[in-house]
Amino acid sequence: MLKLSPLFSSLKFITPFLHLRHLSTPPRFSLHSTAATLTRVPSNLTRASSSFLQPPTEMGSESYMFGPYKIDAREVFYSTQLSYALVNLRPLVPGHVLVCPRREVKRFLDLSADETSDLWLTAQKVGRQLESYHNTSSLTFAIQDGPQAGQTVPHVHIHILPRKSGDFEKNDEIYDAIDLKEKELTQKLDLDKERKDRSVAEMADEADEYRKLFL
């Protein structure tokens, strides 16, 4: 019988061990060899995302509440995941609109950080477009935060009014006028009651014009 040398006998057992060790060792890659195969992530996806950076939502099938009142979707001309903008039943000046959080929040102090950011970014965007559309030179942003501040609808909302020279005899009179309109809102917003002011169709036509500004 052929006798194997001690060295050969040892190799019979060492070779499988080396093979298994080779399989269990993670492969090594060169950064230079794999760089071309990596998928590049768009830079805009690496930025921190927030709800107020989301694109406007579709308004066709949306429902909107303003305090206890249901708002006709045709009167809403701009909407995000957290806020919406609607035309006014009785505007003080051309372009007088409201911006509200979607969530029914009574006080400005009760808004979340995302809602606060989204609300003001929406107001900024809406104000910029309406100032240009109505060929005005300034904007009034007003919040009545709580009943003693003149708020009648218990839902945070920002009044946005495009302004121009001479629209009010005394500039600060606009705040008294806003107070008056706030008091009228509770009598005018109920959709089940007959409207003696602008019709839904009139307001929808205005909203349609404003909606085009954000396409």
The C-alpha torsion from 98 through 99 and 101 to 107, rounded to 10°, is -60
Instruction: Give me 207's structure tokens.
Output: 């909203």
pLDDT in the model for residue 42: 40
Q: What CATH topology corresponds to 56-214? A: HIT family, subunit A (3.30.428)
Report in angstroms the alpha-carbon separations of 169 from 1, 66, 91, 164, 173. 122, 31, 17, 11, 8
In the chain, domain spans:
8-34, 56-214
Q: In this model, does residue 23 exceed pLDDT 60? A: no
pLDDT-derived band at 177, boundaries 50, 70, 90: confident
Percent of residues in the chain assigned helix, strand, coil, to nearest 5: 45, 15, 40
Contact 79, 85 (CB under 8 A): yes
Return the active site residues: 157
By three-state DSSP, how is residue 167 classified? Answer: coil
Q: Give the helix ranges, DSSP H, for 112-151.
A: 113-133
Residue with the bigger pLDDT between 141 and 18: it is: 141
Q: What is the pTM of this model?
A: 0.65
pLDDT in the model for residue 143: 94
Q: In this model, does residue 34 exceed pLDDT 70? A: no
